[in-house]
Structure 1
């Protein structure tokens, strides 16, 4: 008789977002560890999911598929191959995709499992004028600010360069040192405070280092000159800041489509994924996690799942509350972690208007029709509205919109769970969105055909509250040898999607090799060459 095969090892993965799904698929590809994914919501993809409202799809927050990591780029394209033929709007606009189409790749008009090549256009609406985002030195900037203000901004920048703040105590100091006070006050202060709901003086400088590393006035000028003086083919190959890229990959039906495909592969290869399952307790013994307490949200019943490994993408505040045998100080620090929440108002329009400053001559950046602006999204830096950012889903992918004769937009508002915005009734929020869009000149109320509201709690882990003592939380969780913290909320770090995936891959490598040192996981997104805006 042959010897019985050893029992398969099992990993509990908390959360079916990019980090959790990446970890599950990599465990199946590289190890004998079988993943069980427990997802509290009914959705796949976390904040990278795609909401579907009457055939119109919403990308929560906007997700460009671009990474400095070749490994991540290849991973995405193995799941969904890049287009080999023009998409619907490519054909309508006669876009030149000669350098971007993949020979033998799928035709977006014939199949859904395809990555589109998208041209990026993001702009700032400032004092009812459009400016390039990131800020570009050029005639539009001169027109918007005037020669006098630009001169004062330049003098302010030179002063900050010559006499920098020696010890950066907060985000305001960070911005002033890199941009000068006047540029900071003009373009960074109000929008950042709109996003986070508190003064820049109360936000640690570390947030700036995490999100805008490498960006500067000098860098923007150098990039502008280099872009103007090189050929299109050379421009395509240049390594620039992610926030300066000119095109990116994008799933035909939104980011959630890719993660739904990953989830399908996980289950086909022997993994298990359960939605509506909330982890409410985590049992430990010595230096190891032994199991998790799970609540079935459909009927309220609770049961225990045992596992040899635990990968957590749940918010650290909730993780610390769920762990047993946690010291009182660590529990207190966990309760003090802060998050910023987010909601999107989707508006279906018959048309959309803009100012003459919003029109583009570039064929690659024209919208599919004359009914909408050409941007992927627009940053709203206006004092008289609460709207923070505007997405135009037609320009992310024409296939996100059920009727190509309509315009589908997402109005993004930053808020705190339970505040006046978050608690406002959906109908009132839609009325607010229509009123503010009308005030900005984008629409008239008669243009609105339909609307929906999507709320996203804990969208942004904040770098205030007890974050300055986060290292103590990390030291505690790192001692649990088989517990791996991954993902944006799982690490309480403002990760991009590719950072979350790289952290998950590092965690899988550690589990595979029996390595209890978590340093490689935490090093992801600590010294990256770029940080997406």
Structure 2
């Protein structure tokens, strides 16, 4: 029996453990998790009967393995209307433990509504060419955007930056309206200072041309098809009690299959001898402990992993590149309010105190908030009283130690609430409750020493029994399904006795789809 040590109990680590334990007679599996939470940034935070999704997670993948995996743990429930869910009062919505009742382990089908809030008006996101869009832009701006886009079709920029990438696909005017300031909020860098690889990784085929094709596709009466850009797909799946419910369920199954999950155990030392990891040490309340193993899977940040190596000197160039890898940290404020000061002009939902959006991208340049989640619309089961209150998440992007990150909790909540009031979304008098969460290294970034990442990858690949998986494990801005696929590919290699990691690193490098987000 081989002993497998997995660092991190996020989607990648839990997927790897679950897949390995399908053959429990072959593998002993131990997961070391730094925090006291299951699911990484895909966890669900419970607070006073309400639940917060950290960053928002749509469950959709073009890979059948991932979809089957999700549904094996949480079967699909039928898709009645939003109001039908709200009016289902048969189940108490108070906090539940990490192992919900079987009948609550279901996936809901949700409508995707994500819009841009710009100049106190709503624009579709992804950007559409509907009459309302053109009306909101006004005649002159619409004409300017049109000519700018036509120019981008004729004169293509050499794609040396993310700005070049966006301008080539949308034109300078639409780029300035809908991408420039938001991207700078998220990453703390102007798009002209960021690699075009970010766009290739996250946006891929999305463009005005893709939007036009999608409009024609829908006009023909066809449903979303395999060739539709995933950013344009209009429905997704979502666990009844948030993404953390799925990962808590996976963790419970791992324990049933004989796996071990050690919480509150940050890895501090990784010992390497003769091209192999022989052990990892971690901190506990009772001091430092060490665990040996045959194979190691790491989803901890690459920067921290390389810095923790001991036993064999790490080349200076690898240390330098790893130490310089950038991240963007994340702050979210949960506000429970009586209502939003936004008029619902859509046909979705009959509730007067809410709009139907899952996310609202805030493009107003005078505020720091980047995005707003409305948890009622992800699942009303995230909200203790979804008929009379609106539970929202205000998303901010920061660098650990900067002014936003260091602001005291009460001060930050007051600051965030005042920003929403300033742009007309809420009145502070309507706030009933609030909560604050900080998330370190939420977003691996593609600048600074990232251009030399191949040096680090080459070194890590030379460690025979190490597989780097997940978003932070590969320093790649992957979605949840891609993180899972890196784990599945690593497990496939472990079972076959293959030490190559090429297939693991190649997840999400193809040029066709992947689920796009603005952040």
TM-score (normalizing by structure 1) = 0.91
**Where in structure 2 are the equivalents of 1:193-204 lying within 5 Å?**
193-204=184-195
Task: After TM superposition, give the deviation of residue 236 of structure 1 in Å.
Answer: 4.6
| Cα separation, 1, equivalents of 2:168 and 2:486 | 31
| Counterpart position of 2:54 | 60
Unaligned stretches of 5+ residues in structure 1: 1-7, 95-107
Distance change (3 Å), C-alpha of 1:23 and 1:172: same
Please give the per-residue CA displacement for 1:360-395, whole angstroms capped at 9, x wherever unaligned: 02xxx326x211111111000001111100000001
- 146, 151, 162: which one aligns with 2:138: 146
| Counterpart position of 2:117 | 125
| Counterpart position of 1:288 | 276
| Counterpart position of 2:433 | 450
| Counterpart position of 1:334 | 322
- 263, 287, 291: which one aligns with 1:305: 291
| Counterpart position of 2:97 | none
| Counterpart position of 1:16 | 9
Task: After TM superposition, give the deviation of residue 411 of structure 1 in Å.
Answer: 0.3
Task: After TM superposition, give the deviation of residue 256 of structure 1 in Å.
Answer: 0.4
Please give the per-residue CA displacement for 1:156-178, whole angstroms capped at 9, x wherever unaligned: 1121211112x321111111112
- Residues 87 and 116 in structure 1, CA contact (< 8 A), matched pair in contact too: no
| Counterpart position of 2:356 | 374
**Given the alignment of the two structures, is residue 79 of structure 1 paired with residue 84 of structure 2, yes or no?**
no
Distance change (3 Å), C-alpha of 1:528 and 1:58: farther
- Residues 93 and 366 in structure 1, CA contact (< 8 A), matched pair in contact too: no
| Counterpart position of 1:98 | none
| Cα separation, 2, equivalents of 1:91 and 1:448 | 24
- Residues 51 and 59 in structure 1, CA contact (< 8 A), matched pair in contact too: yes
Please give the per-residue CA displacement for 1:382-412, whole angstroms capped at 9, x wherever unaligned: 0111110000000111110112221100000
Distance change (3 Å), C-alpha of 1:85 and 1:148: closer
Distance change (3 Å), C-alpha of 1:488 and 1:400: same
- Residues 85 and 380 in structure 2, CA contact (< 8 A), matched pair in contact too: no
Distance change (3 Å), C-alpha of 1:109 and 1:444: farther
**Given the alignment of the two structures, is residue 429 of structure 1 paired with residue 412 of structure 2, yes or no?**
yes
**Given the alignment of the two structures, is residue 209 of structure 1 paired with residue 200 of structure 2, yes or no?**
yes
| Cα separation, 2, equivalents of 1:345 and 1:465 | 29
- Residues 5 and 29 in structure 2, CA contact (< 8 A), matched pair in contact too: yes
| Counterpart position of 2:374 | 392
- Residues 87 and 109 in structure 1, CA contact (< 8 A), matched pair in contact too: no
- 320, 336, 346: which one aligns with 1:360: 346
Task: After TM superposition, give the deviation of residue 238 of structure 1 in Å.
Answer: 5.6
Distance change (3 Å), C-alpha of 1:493 and 1:85: closer
**Where in structure 2 are the equivalents of 1:204-243 lying within 5 Å?**
204-230=195-221, 234-237=222-225, 239-243=227-231
Q: Let me know the Cα RMSD of the aligned residues.
A: 1.7
- Residues 116 and 251 in structure 1, CA contact (< 8 A), matched pair in contact too: yes
- 175, 191, 196: which one aligns with 2:182: 191
| Cα separation, 1, equivalents of 2:49 and 2:489 | 37
| Cα separation, 1, equivalents of 2:23 and 2:504 | 17
Q: Alignment partner of 2:282: what SS?
A: strand
Number of corresponding residues: 501
Task: After TM superposition, give the deviation of residue 9 of structure 1 in Å.
Answer: 1.0
| Cα separation, 1, equivalents of 2:391 and 2:444 | 28
- Residues 203 and 463 in structure 1, CA contact (< 8 A), matched pair in contact too: yes
Task: After TM superposition, give the deviation of residue 180 of structure 1 in Å.
Answer: 1.6
**Given the alignment of the two structures, is residue 413 of structure 1 paired with residue 396 of structure 2, yes or no?**
yes
Task: After TM superposition, give the deviation of residue 502 of structure 1 in Å.
Answer: 0.5
| Cα separation, 1, equivalents of 2:8 and 2:417 | 34
- Residues 89 and 398 in structure 1, CA contact (< 8 A), matched pair in contact too: no
| Cα separation, 1, equivalents of 2:320 and 2:209 | 43
- Residues 83 and 114 in structure 1, CA contact (< 8 A), matched pair in contact too: yes
Task: After TM superposition, give the deviation of residue 529 of structure 1 in Å.
Answer: 2.6
- Residues 315 and 490 in structure 1, CA contact (< 8 A), matched pair in contact too: yes
- Residues 332 and 396 in structure 2, CA contact (< 8 A), matched pair in contact too: yes
| Counterpart position of 2:443 | 460
Task: After TM superposition, give the deviation of residue 153 of structure 1 in Å.
Answer: 1.4
- 499, 502, 512: which one aligns with 2:485: 502
| Counterpart position of 1:27 | 20
| Counterpart position of 1:105 | none
Name which of structure 1's ranges 395-404 and 60-69 shifts more when overlaid on structure 2: 395-404
Task: After TM superposition, give the deviation of residue 200 of structure 1 in Å.
Answer: 1.0
Please give the per-residue CA displacement for 1:123-162, whole angstroms capped at 9, x wherever unaligned: 0001111011101101111111112222221211121211
| Cα separation, 2, equivalents of 1:380 and 1:432 | 16
Distance change (3 Å), C-alpha of 1:163 and 1:321: same
**Given the alignment of the two structures, is residue 270 of structure 1 paired with residue 258 of structure 2, yes or no?**
yes
Q: Alignment partner of 1:235: what SS?
A: coil
| Cα separation, 1, equivalents of 2:132 and 2:60 | 28
Name which of structure 1's ranges 174-183 and 53-62 shifts more when overlaid on structure 2: 174-183
| Cα separation, 2, equivalents of 1:445 and 1:164 | 47
| Cα separation, 2, equivalents of 1:447 and 1:92 | 21
Name which of structure 1's ranges 435-444 and 117-126 shifts more when overlaid on structure 2: 435-444
Please give the per-residue CA displacement for 1:251-289, whole angstroms capped at 9, x wherever unaligned: 011000000000011111011001100110111111211
Distance change (3 Å), C-alpha of 1:88 and 1:151: closer
| Counterpart position of 2:64 | 70
- 513, 516, 522: which one aligns with 2:499: 516
Task: After TM superposition, give the deviation of residue 471 of structure 1 in Å.
Answer: 0.2
Name which of structure 1's ranges 334-343 and 523-532 shifts more when overlaid on structure 2: 523-532
Q: Alignment partner of 2:21: what SS?
A: helix
Q: Alignment partner of 1:187: what SS?
A: helix
